[in-house]
Amino acid sequence: MSQLDPTIDLPLAAPPRRVRGRIRVPGWVALLLRNRKSRAGLCMVLFMVLVALVAPLISVAHPNDFNLLAARQAPSWHHLFGTTDQGSDIFSQVVLGARRSLLLGAAAGILATGVAAILGITAAYSGGLVDEGVNFLTNVFLTIPPIPLLVVASGYLKSRGMVTMAVVLALVLWAFEARILRGQALSLKSRDFILAAKASGESTPRIVFGELMPNMISRIAAAFVLVFYIALLTDAGLEFLGLGDMTKTSWGVTLYWAQTNSTVLQGEWWPFFFPGAALAFTVLGLVLLLAGIDEVSNPRLRTERPERRRLLAALVGGRLVARAEASA
């Protein structure tokens, strides 16, 4: 994944494109919608967001209502996704669980990306002591092994609520993002338009946030999506291991109970399948979105490349296609 290579040079975020006279869609959104992968990913994620939004309306019962008479029922019209061994409705658990998963992912993503962007970009632009300080900090955080920290943190923290989890995940993941964003900011910082802004008297904060940052939108979005799905997966994983708050409704918790009660051994696949599928669907959507962002923002990954390279390999001097003239 090119996400891991901070030295790769990215084209700038695309400028806004005019759509029908007045309305302007930010250029990178238009680009994302034109890329097949990111369009599919975006649709999948938006679908989940929609489900989460209308969850209270479509959930038929309180997710933790139990009714032993209706326990262990296979999917039916009455219980779309079947019921648990306690007789709780799995459909309700899954749609309401989407709220927690998405909120947590988004919160962790915003926190980690915000910290990473502010620290990474400021460090890259200022250089010198500030840069060295931030570098030291990121290195410290990068050396902390994340999984044990998470297990310990979620095991010991009193309130194992969503906010705590989001903060812990953000703490674990920000350094990684900061390093990537710093790398890109470094390559942008020496571009002439940044120097030009400086020469016209622009102040440092304005250069960082007004001139540099808007050019990194696609990379920042990519960082956000990455943290989003890592957080989502990690959280579900921890809950599945029983390290979460077992009284709440979430995909991980449903999976945990399914596993504890060894439902599959008794031929009941649905308590596993539906929350698992919801998780897989969301993560797949996010991964596609990320792949799409990567492709759009990194011409070296564009799908037409191999074809063009093959064509040009037939020619002397055409070992690689010259960079787009615009980036000259």
Partner 1 sequence: MSALEVRELSKHFSIGGALRRSHVHAVEDVSFALRPGTITALVGESGSGKTTVARLLARLYDPSSGAVLFEGSDVSHVRRRRDVLHYRSQVQIIFQDPFGSLNPVKTIRHHVERPLRIHHIVPSAQVEERAHELLRTVGLVPPEEIAAKYPHELSGGQRQRVAIARALAVEPKIVLADEPTSMLDVSIRIGILNLMVKLKEERGIAFLYVTHDLASARYVADEILVMYAGQIVERGPVEQVLAEPLHPYTRLLLAAVPDPAKRDAERIGTRKGVASAAVDPPEGCRFVSRCPLAIDVCSHVTPPLVEARPAQAARCHVTAPAPSTR
Partner 2 sequence: MTALAEEPAVRRTSRKALLELRQLAVEYGSGARGVRAVDGVDLEIREGEVVGLAGESGCGKTTVANAVLQILRPPARIVGGSVLYQGEDLVGKKPEELRRFRWRNVSMVFQSAMNALNPVMRVGDQFVDAMRAHERIDRRRALARAGELLELVGIDRRRVRAYPHELSGGMRQRVIIAMALSLNPDLVILDEPTTALDVVVQREILQQVEALRRDFGFAVLFITHDLSLLLEFADRIAIMYAGELVETAPAERLGTNPRHPYTQRLLQSFPPLSGPLERLSGIPGSPPDLSDPPSGCRFHPRCPHCGPERPELYGRQTTERPVLREVEPGHRVACHLVEEEEEVA
Contact set with partner 1 (CB under 8 A)? 12-16, 27, 191-193, 195-203, 211, 214-215, 217, 326-328
Piece in contact with partner 2 (CB under 8 A), picked from 19-27, 44-52, 100-108, 318-326: 318-326
201 binds, among partner 2, partner 1, none (CB under 5 to 8 A by kind): partner 1
* Contacts with partner 2, 256-295, as mask; x by CB under 8 A: ----------------------------------------
Q: Burial-class residue 127 by CB neighbours within 10 Å (0-12, 13-18, 19+).
A: exposed
300 binds partner 2 (CB under 8 A): no
Residue 313 found at the interface with partner 2 (CB under 8 A): yes
Backbone angles phi, psi at 241, to 5 degrees: -80, 0
Residue 19 as a binder of partner 2 (CB under 8 A): the answer is no
Determine the Cα–Cα distance for residues 82 and 292; give it in Å rounded to an integer: 35
Q: Establish if 312 lies at the interface with partner 2 (CB under 8 A).
A: yes
Please choose, out of 55-63, 181-189, 251-259, 320-328, the segment that lies near partner 2 by the rule CB under 8 A: 320-328
What DSSP element (H or E) covers 18?
A: strand 17-18
In this complex, which beta carbon is closest to partner 2, that of residue 106 or of residue 312? 312
Exactly one of 145, 192, 319, 326 binds partner 2 (CB under 8 A); that residue is: 319
Q: Which of 149, 156, 165 is nearest to 101 (CA)?
A: 165
Decide whether 258 or 293 has the Cβ nearer to partner 1.
293
Q: How far apart are CA 56 and CA 59, in angstroms?
A: 5
CA-CA-CA-CA dihedral for 269, 44, 280, 238, to nearest 10: -110
**Binding at 163: pick from partner 2, partner 1, none (beta carbon under 5-8 Å per type):** none
Residues contacting residue 34 through CB under 8 Å, at least 6 positions apart: none
**Binding of partner 2 by 54 (CB under 8 A):** no
Using DSSP's 3-state secondary structure scheme, residue 141 falls into: helix
For partner 1, the closer of residues 18 and 309 by Cβ is: 18
Q: Which residue is associated with the tokens 């869609």?
A: 25
- Tell me which amino acid residue 118 is: I
The SS3 of residue 215 is helix
What residues make contact with partner 2 under the rule CB under 8 A? Answer: 308, 311-323, 325, 328
